[in-house]
Structure 1
Amino acid sequence: MMTLMKLGTAGCVLTASLTAAAAAPLSLDHRDDLSDADKAKVERVLADPQADDLAERFEEMSGGAATSRKKLNANAFSHPSANLSFEDQQRFAVGNGLFRKFWVSSPASTRASDGLGPLYNARSCQGCHLKDGRGHPPAPGEEPVALFLRLSVPPTTEAEKAALANRDALVIPEPVYGTQFQTYAVPGLSAEGRMKVSYTDKPVTLGDGTVVTLRDPVYTMTDLGYGPMRDDVLISPRVAPQMLGLGLLEAIHPGDILSRADPEDVDGDGISGKPSWVRKAPGGELVLGRFGWKASEPTVRSQSAGAFAGDIGISSPDRPDPYGDCTARQTDCRRMPTGEQANLGPTEAPDPVMELVDFYSRNLAVPRRRDVDDPQVLKGKAVFRALSCNGCHVPKYVTSRKAAIAAHRFQLIWPYTDLLLHDMGEGLADNRPAGDATGREWRTPPLWGIGLTELVSGQESYLHDGRARTLEEAILWHGGEAETARNGYAALDKADREALIRFLKSL
Structure 2
Amino acid sequence: MRPWYGVAPVLDSVPLPESTLLGGQASVSYNYSEEPHRVFQQMANNIGISNTQRFVEGRRLFHTSFVDGKHSESPDINPVFTAHANQLGPRFNNVSCIGCHALNGRSVAPVPGQRLDTMAVEVAASSSPSGVTPDATYGLNVQQRAQEAGAPDYSVSVQAYETTVRALPDGETVELQKPVYAFKGPVPAQYSIRQAPQVIGLGLLEAIDETTILNLADPEDSNGDGIRGVPNWVVNPETGSRHLGRFGWKASKATLRQQAADALLKDIGVTSPVYKSLACQRGSPDCNATAGATAISETELQRLDAYLALLGVPAQRSLRSGYMDGIRVSPEHDVDPALIQRGGALFAQVRCVSCHTAQLTTGANHPFAELRNQTLRPYTDLLLHDMGPGLADTLPQGQAGASMWRTAPLWGVGSLRFVQGGVQNVRYLHDGRARTLMEAIAWHGGEASTSRGLFEALSKADRDAVLAFLESL
Partner of 1:118: 90
Q: TM-score, normalization: structure 1? A: 0.79
Partner of 1:460: 426
Where do residues 187-198 of structure 1 align in structure 2 (5 Å cutoff)? Answer: 187-197=148-158, 198=160
1:412 aligns with 2:375: yes
Where do residues 52-451 of structure 1 align in structure 2 (5 Å cutoff)? Answer: 58-69=18-29, 71=31, 73-104=36-67, 110-154=82-126, 164-165=129-130, 169=131, 171-197=132-158, 198-222=160-184, 224=185, 228=186, 233-281=189-237, 284-322=240-278, 325=281, 346-371=293-318, 374-451=337-414
Cα distance change on mapping 1:125 and 1:366 into 2, 3 Å: same
Cα distance change on mapping 1:245 and 1:111 into 2, 3 Å: closer
Partner of 1:11: none
3-state SS in 2 of match to 1:181 = coil
Partner of 1:26: none
3-state SS in 2 of match to 1:484 = helix
Q: Deviations over 1:103-144 (max 9, x none)?
A: 1289x9945322212111111000111111121432245332
Cα distance change on mapping 1:57 and 1:82 into 2, 3 Å: closer
Aligned-pair distance for 1:211? 1.3
Aligned-pair distance for 1:57? 5.5
State how far apart, in whole Å, the 1-side matches of 2:146 and 2:283 are: 14
State which of 459, 470, 485 in structure 1 corresponds to 2:436.
470
Contact 1:114 1:348 in 2 (8 A): no
Aligned AA (2:155): R
State how far apart, in whole Å, the 2-side matches of 1:326 and 1:264 are: 36
Contact 1:117 1:323 in 2 (8 A): no
Identity between Structure 1 and Structure 2 (%):
41
Cα distance change on mapping 1:210 and 1:109 into 2, 3 Å: closer
State how far apart, in whole Å, the 1-side matches of 2:135 and 2:187 are: 7
State how far apart, in whole Å, the 2-side matches of 1:390 and 1:90 are: 37
Query: Which protein has the larger Cα radius of gyration, Structure 1 or Structure 2?
Result: 1
Cα distance change on mapping 1:441 and 1:327 into 2, 3 Å: closer
State how far apart, in whole Å, the 1-side matches of 2:182 and 2:112 are: 14
Q: Deviations over 1:345-372 (max 9, x none)?
A: 8101112111111110111110111115
Cα distance change on mapping 1:229 and 1:470 into 2, 3 Å: closer
State how far apart, in whole Å, the 2-side matches of 1:192 and 1:404 are: 43
Q: CA RMSD in A?
A: 2.3
Where do residues 473-488 of structure 1 align in structure 2 (5 Å cutoff)? Answer: 473-488=439-454
Contact 2:362 2:372 in 1 (8 A): yes
State how far apart, in whole Å, the 2-side matches of 1:485 and 1:492 are: 11
Aligned AA (2:140): T
Aligned-pair distance for 1:397? 1.4
Partner of 1:29: none
Contact 1:367 1:449 in 2 (8 A): yes
State how far apart, in whole Å, the 1-side matches of 2:201 and 2:25 are: 12
3-state SS in 2 of match to 1:212 = strand
Contact 2:134 2:282 in 1 (8 A): no
Aligned AA (2:165): P
Aligned AA (2:299): P
State how far apart, in whole Å, the 2-side matches of 1:213 and 1:382 are: 27
Q: Deviations over 1:160-196 (max 9, x none)?
A: x7xx53xxx3x22112211111110113451451212
Aligned AA (1:215): Q
State how far apart, in whole Å, the 1-side matches of 2:377 and 2:150 are: 46
Aligned AA (2:429): L
State how far apart, in whole Å, the 1-side matches of 2:433 and 2:269 are: 27
Aligned AA (2:444): H
Contact 1:254 1:288 in 2 (8 A): yes
Contact 2:107 2:197 in 1 (8 A): yes
Partner of 2:5: none
Cα distance change on mapping 1:77 and 1:191 into 2, 3 Å: farther
3-state SS in 2 of match to 1:220 = strand
Q: Which runs of 5 or more residues in structure 2 are unaligned?
A: 1-15, 70-79, 320-335
Aligned-pair distance for 1:290? 0.4
State how far apart, in whole Å, the 2-side matches of 1:453 and 1:209 are: 29
Cα distance change on mapping 1:414 and 1:504 into 2, 3 Å: same
Aligned-pair distance for 1:61? 1.2
Q: Deviations over 1:66-103 (max 9, x none)?
A: 11115251100001111111221122111111001111
Aligned AA (1:213): E
State how far apart, in whole Å, the 2-side matches of 1:190 and 1:111 are: 26
Contact 1:105 1:186 in 2 (8 A): no
State how far apart, in whole Å, the 2-side matches of 1:465 and 1:454 are: 18
3-state SS in 2 of match to 1:75 = helix
Partner of 1:505: 471
Of 210-219 and 307-316, the range deviating more from structure 2: 210-219
Aligned AA (2:122): R
Contact 1:183 1:194 in 2 (8 A): yes
Aligned AA (1:212): V
Q: Which runs of 5 or more residues in structure 1 are unaligned?
A: 1-55, 156-160, 329-333, 335-339
Cα distance change on mapping 1:252 and 1:60 into 2, 3 Å: same
Aligned AA (2:251): A
Q: Deviations over 1:428-464 (max 9, x none)?
A: 0003211110001000010001111110112221000
State how far apart, in whole Å, the 2-side matches of 1:503 and 1:412 are: 19
Q: TM-score, normalization: structure 2? A: 0.85
Runs (4+) of structure 1 exceeding 4 A deviation are 108-111
Number of aligned residue pairs: give it.
421
State how far apart, in whole Å, the 1-side matches of 2:63 and 2:311 are: 14
Q: Deviations over 1:26-51 (max 9, x none)?
A: xxxxxxxxxxxxxxxxxxxxxxxxxx
Cα distance change on mapping 1:189 and 1:318 into 2, 3 Å: farther
Aligned AA (2:304): V
